[in-house]
Structure 1
Amino acid sequence: MTFKKPLTFRRLFNYFLAGLLISLPIWGTGYVIYSAFTFIDGIIDTQYFFGFTIPGLGVVIVLSFITFIGFIGQGLISKQLIDFFDHVLEKTPGIKVIYSMIKDFIEAFVGDKKKFTEGVAVEMTNGIYKLGFVTSKNLKSIQLEGLVAVYFPHSYNFSGNLFLVPKEKIKPLKGNSSELMKFIVSGGVTDVEAISKSVKSESGAE
């Protein structure tokens, strides 16, 4: 790797934050779930209660508990509690930037306001197209009316670029967005027919 710009403390700190954003949610989630698995398997002696061991019982219990928490989280009381902690974290200096970025990124995939659902082909130059996903169609608030935000994932990497392009330059693509994402991230080596098959299956479902 070569650096086009000299390394400074600010750049190193930005690299640290980027690494933290990528690794912390993954490590934290994995550690909590693994700890819960081992704790439950340690306190529940299935050999004593049933006369035989039940491998993976901790996994089943933890996954069921997480699902139950998600179900409860849809309720009004839990929503108020979540909103309270959300407000506290977003008002905490230093933490609010990281928390907001992680929250927005997760909600873009699994939240009610999913972003990566509309795949498009954007004409760049001389009939060359780039595949991406529209993440925002209204940019009036930043004085960029007439442009849309299109995210271009990198192949073989969990990163990408965001471009603001004229609406007439984009071409909506039919098909399952997850299949399109796999096609882009894999550098185009995955089965492109899977995208067309998803179009047919969606048409048949209608």
Structure 2
Amino acid sequence: MRRLAGYFLRGLVIMAPLALTVYVCFSIVTAIDSWIPVDIPGVGFAITIGLITLVGALGSNVLTDGLVRLIDGLLEKLPFVRLLYGTAKDFFEAFAGEKKRFDTAVLVTLYPASEAKALGFMTRRDVEMFGLVNHVAVYLPHSYAFTGQLILVPAEHVTLVQAGSAELMTFIVSAGVTEKSGSTFGGSTSSSNTPDTPLQAVSLMPAHGVDPAS
């Protein structure tokens, strides 16, 4: 029973932010569509996108930053709302906020002397709080899912990949089947839909034993 409860809570943490975001956006679009006397498909969606962009612009303004922080602080104090809001906020900030964590694509050697590699994103260069020196934190997204796993590996097993974050995430989530014309995956452009474009990788560990966290 305890294990089932744990599974439920884990599923809630995964599904709640996504469901909350979808519900809020759908509610806004529906409300705007109901206010417009003329039935024009897509107008509510366009206005919603504009409002979200406007809120983002206001949130980046020094004059409105205090108000945003006040609302943020109030939501963080509400017991259940704090869980939903905090998780959703951390997730979106990791991708598009000031504290981006998914902007360093890497190739990971999971096992010593193994030719198998895994694609992911390095989210931390220093994990000494766990007693691990010269280790980094790498997030490995799952294919066809909005989940993944966090692993701590030696920095020497991690190789930087010259690829855009969104492009690499799409490649991983689609299990490698996504092919786009004009792709810059691997640091070079391609005019054909060929999967043979090699990944351009650079070793994470600098020469002469320099700490990768610096």
Deviation string 1:109-128 (CA, Å, 9 cap, x unpaired) is 11112111211111223222
C-alpha displacement at 1:151, in angstroms?
A: 0.8
Distance in 2 separating the partners of 1:197 and 1:171: 15
Rg larger in structure: 1
Residues 132/38 of structure 1: CA separation in 2 closer, same or farther (3 Å cut): closer
| Structure 2 alignment gaps of length 5 or more | 190-214
More divergent stretch after superposition (121-130 vs 95-104)? 95-104
Is residue 85 of structure 1 aligned with residue 77 of structure 2? no
Residues 97/33 of structure 1: CA separation in 2 closer, same or farther (3 Å cut): closer
Aligned to 2:15: 23
C-alpha displacement at 1:45, in angstroms?
A: 2.0
Residues 40/25 of structure 1: CA separation in 2 closer, same or farther (3 Å cut): same
C-alpha displacement at 1:37, in angstroms?
A: 2.7
The two structures have a TM-score, normalised by structure 2, of: 0.74
Deviation string 1:13-34 (CA, Å, 9 cap, x unpaired) is 3322222233323333333333
Aligned to 2:57: 71
Is residue 105 of structure 1 aligned with residue 91 of structure 2? yes
Distance in 2 separating the partners of 1:198 and 1:123: 18
Distance in 1 separating the partners of 2:134 and 2:121: 17
Aligned to 2:108: 122
Instruction: Select the residue among 165, 170, 177 that pairs with 1:177.
Output: 165
The two structures have a TM-score, normalised by structure 1, of: 0.76
C-alpha displacement at 1:139, in angstroms?
A: 1.7
Instruction: Select the residue among 117, 120, 129 that pairs with 1:132.
Output: 120
What is the SS of the residue equivalent to 2:102? coil
| Structure 1 alignment gaps of length 5 or more | 1-7, 47-52, 202-206
Identical-pair percentage: 41
Q: CA RMSD in A?
A: 2.6
C-alpha displacement at 1:159, in angstroms?
A: 1.2
Is the 1:154–1:185 contact (alpha carbons within 8 Å) kept by the matching residues of 2? yes
Aligned to 2:140: 152
Distance in 2 separating the partners of 1:93 and 1:44: 36
Greater helix percent: which structure? 1
Is the 1:180–1:195 contact (alpha carbons within 8 Å) kept by the matching residues of 2? no
Distance in 1 separating the partners of 2:175 and 2:185: 19
Name the structure, 1 or 2, with higher relative contact order (CA <8 Å, separation 6+): 2
Distance in 1 separating the partners of 2:84 and 2:26: 24
Q: Which aligned pairs between 1:30-41 and structure 2 lie closer than 5 A?
A: 30-41=22-33
Aligned to 2:192: none
What is the SS of the residue equivalent to 1:171? strand
